[in-house]
Chains A and B, each alone.
Chain A
């Protein structure tokens, strides 16, 4: 059964870079098509899409975050990662990784990790 798990630091200082990794279990990122995505949820706020990466390495980012974000993948480890630069307190959130399924009529995040809480503070 497909299972995703986020890992990374829970506390990061302002102006630093956040590195999070999503490990995928029960499926292979080499399967085509495969898309991994990152979504975050600031405290008490709505979900915010950060970006996606395809099995071929193509990336798609939220325009509001595009200048600070990059997503990469390591198919040999069945992982994909998020890098978010120049952090501020506004980046404090729960960060989720998810599988984006695009097949027929389905274009949605159908499997999510449990999320990892990230606090930006000195």
Chain B
């Protein structure tokens, strides 16, 4: 089973800053099956990125994804107040869907 790890666990940042979140897979995975979600307190997750780099419908272009193999990143070019949330990566493989532990981005 592929295990996803995310780093850092928590980031404290200010609005306007650029942030890069990391997702690492325990073995090489297809980038076609790597997605990122945003979750705010008390809300369901929201799909941001699929196929490692494709923005989902309605997602602002300040969100971008990249990576391949075992290393993937989610970048927010300029943090808006509504972007403070927890971000999860997710992979789809032969044993189904697995999620990373999440990275919390909070206000400094």
Q: A46-B100, A60-B96, A105-B32 are in contact. Are A113 and B44 (CB under 8 A)?
A: yes
Determine chain A's interface SS by DSSP, over half rule: strand
Q: Does B51 make an interface contact (CB < 8 A)?
A: yes
How many residues on chain B are close to A (CB under 8 Å)? 26
Cβ A105 vs Cβ B46 within 8 A: no
CA distance A109 to B89 in the complex (A): 12
Chain A contacts for B99, CB-based, 8 A: 46-49
The minimal Cβ–Cβ distance linking A59 to chain B, given in whole angstroms, is: 11
Chain A contacts for B98, CB-based, 8 A: 49
Cβ A108 vs Cβ B96 within 8 A: no
Q: What per-residue 1/0 map shows which CB atoms of B67-108 lie under 8 Å from chain A?
A: 000000000000000000000101010011111111000000
CA distance A47 to B87 in the complex (A): 11
Residue numbers of B with Cβ under 8 A of A are: 1, 32-33, 35, 37, 43-47, 50-51, 54, 56-57, 88, 90, 92, 95-102
Residue numbers of A with Cβ under 8 A of B are: 37, 39, 46-49, 51, 60-63, 96, 98, 105-110, 112-115
The 5 closest A-B pairs by CB, nearest first: A112-B44, A49-B97, A105-B51, A47-B99, A108-B35
What would be 29 A-B contacts, judged by CB atoms less than 8 Å apart? Answer: A37-B97, A46-B101, A47-B45, A47-B88, A49-B97, A49-B98, A51-B96, A63-B1, A96-B45, A98-B44, A105-B32, A105-B50, A105-B51, A105-B54, A106-B54, A107-B33, A107-B50, A107-B92, A108-B35, A108-B50, A108-B56, A109-B35, A109-B37, A109-B47, A110-B47, A110-B56, A112-B44, A112-B46, A115-B44
